[in-house]
Amino acid sequence: MVIPHHPGAENGAYCQFIVIDRATPDSSLAWHVLYQAALFETDRNKLPRRIAEAENAILVRIKELFVITTDHIEEDVVLDDALYALRALRNCVLAEATAP
């Protein structure tokens, strides 16, 4: 799991990501593969697409969990954290692209 740590990121000046390893259930690995692909994409041209794919996969998993009656609070938190990290990554990339 990657949690954004962004002192000064509100100005687009600096973004750092802290990698935190969290176990995820096997049924949720599909979104996690796309999430990691977005986080570790080195081609700036491909990054927006990778982020969108990961966000869509996470939203699909959230919809799956919506109908499950068992406790899945921990996975909900992991999914929310992942969406937050992807938004932060998108903001960092946009800030770099628009920097003078």
Termini Cα distance of the chain: 32
pTM of the model: 0.70
**Domain assignment of residue 13, given as a range:** 2-98
**Range of lowest pLDDT (3-7, 52-56, 87-91):** 3-7
Span 27-66, pLDDT tens digits:
568 899 999 999 999 999 999 999 999 999 999 999 999 9
The whole-angstrom separation of Cα 89 and Cα 1 is 13
In the chain, the number of structural domains is 1
DSSP H or E stretch at residue 18: strand 16-19
